[in-house]
Chain A
Amino acid sequence: MNTSAIILLSIVWGLVTFFTIYFFIIILRAPKKPEPDSYTENDDEV
């Protein structure tokens, strides 16, 4: 591969991969909202 292709590919792939992982980690680490929230996995017993 030529240098300009390597530079462009590395920057774009790096940015996109970084943001994909960054936002997904925020979602995984975000505290759950108090009930009633939107997700059934947090539902209390009935």
Chain B
Amino acid sequence: MNKIKTLNLQKPEAWGSRVGLVLAMAGNAVGFGNFLRFPVQAMQNGGGAFIIPYLVSLVVLGLPLLLIEWSSGRFGGQFGHHSTPFIMYSLNKRRIWQYVGVFGIFSNIAIASYYCYIESWTMSYVYHSVVGTFGGMNQHQVAGFFDNYLDISTSSTGIPFEAVVFFVLCLALNTWILSKGLSGGVEKAAKIGVPLLIIFGIFLAIKGIFLRSGSQGAIWDGIEGLNFLWTPKYDSLANPKVWLAAAGQIFFTLSVGMGSIQCYASYLKEKEDIACNAMSAGFTNEFVEIVLGSSIIIPISVGYLGIDKVIELTNLGGLGLAFRTMPYLFQQLGVLLSAIAGMAFFGLLFFAGITSSLAMGTPVMGFLNDEFNWPRKRSALTFGIIVLLLGLPTVFFFQKGVFDEYDYWAGTVSLVVFAMLEAILFAWFFGLEKGWAEINRGADIKIPILFKYLLKYVTPVVLIAIFIGSLVTPKDDDWSRVSIKGWEVSNGSIIGQITHKGIGPNKKYFANTFYSETDGRVDSIYTLRNKILVRIIPDGKPEDFAINYEFTKHHKLLVSMGETVKTGDPVYSGKIINNIFYIDMSRILLVFVFAGISFMVFIAYRKRTHENRI
């Protein structure tokens, strides 16, 4: 049958095909965390035993949240809403839900602003892998390359401000794809990106699993890494820290609590299946995470570095392992294979990243289009500009802690708060009878009745427990410290963060003396790119954990080589802007963004009331 497309400049957004929608949803969920966060979390939380709490969390938390978000999105879409403020309001007519829904726009903007920066690193590393930049470098030089890259004033390609250029390029690509719309942009990108990342992932997983000691420079079998990762240590199951880590991983890997799933689902009609779509997208993400994610960085790094060294490196996080270590390990494969492996690894990270960042742009565009009738291109450009402006502080002040602040408040706390409130709204305010009917309408599979009770009681209660746990996490994640008389909270808890518990002795915005933030030994004082650095190795830690304090010729150094320093001892003097200044400015900026979106929601509500559209 011949088909003729309708030519309409303001054609409503729609998905091109069901497979395209599922791939876009899977692409939304699959991100850097599948390859970098999951294996590191598993290594740090008991290896194979981590998987048991992880799978339990998938059932009681992940899958129910997917069903909530898909069904509430499709429900809100019937009233012409494509962003969470008004999707949530359509579930319960209390205006407070509009402002809870602000989280579903805020977190997307704030996360995109640092997520696109990481995405731009992967773009850059694909380029450097292909042109052979890492050839002949030793492990320290590869790690140093990454540090130089983050220091935006230096360039390895000759392009001035290389990191900024790649960031802008990456944002421009995202904006261009978003401006092509759902089926013409986001869906096409997912149809290319998701299969490619799976192919790259399978190639690297085979390399990792079949890496043999004695071949290609490997010292151990790659499978030893898998063995460590999958050997159950059942004693860790009694530790609440492991359960919280597993719940957290499920949460982040499925991209729930962000508002992007609701937005994607809001373009579905009432009779369309959501139950099977949600399960398919969710399990595709799980396949990528559990099967591919566990078979790449850990087996390859264990093959070259051994288990003890890899455990040590995982304490620096997955990003460090990927960008500071993996390019060096790929070099051991030989010239051609290292270029292919580097391109495949950073390419898969790039596709994982871009399919997620596109999902972050869609709710913002949906909101601008629904409420202010903005055309697609203008909305996409607005998203790109906002993300650029909000992202530049993370680029310029990465090492001052701005990136971590965005990640903590927008990428962690906001998601937990939003998911907790949406689970409560769906189960207790919208009503589970209506909710259950909504989930099952048009379903191509039968969802077990067990999920009805999980949705009503278990999921909201577990989310409340996770939120309270994050609020008052005890020091060192040691839950045996919890007592009725009170306990010391960890630096990473919400209360610890608000009270700047981990800041150390440099608590003033502006000071005349900089104090050591650790006990340790002054290992070296050196000059790098017109900066002078003093390197302190913390007591009991290896070189990889060394802390570099940067100062200029206008400062006066107060320590000498080999000197032992205690926390709070003066290191140098002069005019100093401490990191706490940048941290607090980031928080203020994020509060302004949240307030600004809330104001726009207020205006939108008034506009709708005025136009009798509410």
Contacts and interface: CB of A to CB of B under 8 A. Distances in A.
A40 B283 contact: no
Interface string B264-276: 0001110111001
A6 B223 CA distance: 11
Contacts of A26: 276, 280, 444-445
Contact of B3 (A4, A5, A39, A43): A43
B269 A38 contact: yes
Interface string B2-18: 11111000000011111
B48 interface: yes
Contacts of A40: 14-17, 183
A45 B2 contact: yes
Contacts of A38: 14-15, 21, 267-269, 272
Interface in B229-264: 230-232
B276 A41 contact: no
A30 B17 contact: no
Contacts of B14: 38-40
A41 B22 CA distance: 15
Interface string A19-39: 110011011101001001111
A16 B290 contact: yes
Interface in B199-234: 223, 226-227, 230-232
Contact of B287 (A4, A16, A43): A16
Contacts, number: 108
A27 B226 contact: no
**Best-surrounded residue of B21, B267, B268, B286 (most CB of chain A within 10 A):** B286
Nearest to A18: B283
A4 B276 CA distance: 33
Contacts of A2: 227, 231
Contacts of B284: 20, 24
A24 B2 CA distance: 28
Interface residues of B, number: 44
B269 A5 contact: no
A37 B231 contact: no
Nearest to A44: B3
Contacts of B272: 33, 37-38
B368 interface: no
A5 B227 contact: yes
B232 A27 contact: no
Sorting the interface of chain A by its residue count into under 10, 10 to 19, 20 to 34 or 35 or more gives 20 to 34
B16 A23 contact: no
A24 B19 CA distance: 8
A30 B291 CA distance: 27
Given A8-B232, A39-B15, A27 B280 contact: yes
B528 interface: no
A20 B4 contact: no
A7 B560 CA distance: 55
B100 interface: no
A27 B231 CA distance: 35
A1 B226 contact: yes
Contacts of B389: none
A33 B274 CA distance: 13
Nearest to B184: A40
A1 B6 CA distance: 59
A14 B102 CA distance: 40
B25 to A, nearest CB: 11
B269 A36 contact: yes
Nearest to A42: B17
A20 B51 contact: no
A36 B269 CA distance: 9
A40 B18 CA distance: 10
Contacts of B269: 33, 36-38
Interface in B9-40: 14-22
A5 B1 contact: no
Nearest to B233: A4
A2 to B, nearest CB: 6
B279 interface: yes
A1 B225 CA distance: 9
Contact of B230 (A5, A28, A39, A43): A5
B452 to A, nearest CB: 20
A32 B351 CA distance: 29
A20 B287 contact: yes
B55 interface: yes
Interface in B573-595: none
A13 B209 CA distance: 14
B362 interface: no
A16 B276 CA distance: 15
Nearest to B277: A27
A43 to B, nearest CB: 7
Given A4-B48, A24-B284, A16 B279 contact: no
Contacts of B55: 12
Given A17-B291, A26-B445, A8 B22 contact: no
A24 B230 contact: no
A27 B19 contact: yes
Interface of A: 1-2, 4-6, 8-9, 12-13, 16-17, 19-20, 23-24, 26-28, 30, 33, 36-41, 43-46
Given A26-B444, A39-B20, 4 more contacts: A1-B226, A9-B48, A13-B291, A40-B15
14 contacts: A1-B226, A4-B232, A8-B230, A19-B283, A19-B286, A20-B283, A26-B280, A27-B276, A27-B444, A28-B19, A33-B269, A37-B271, A43-B5, A44-B3
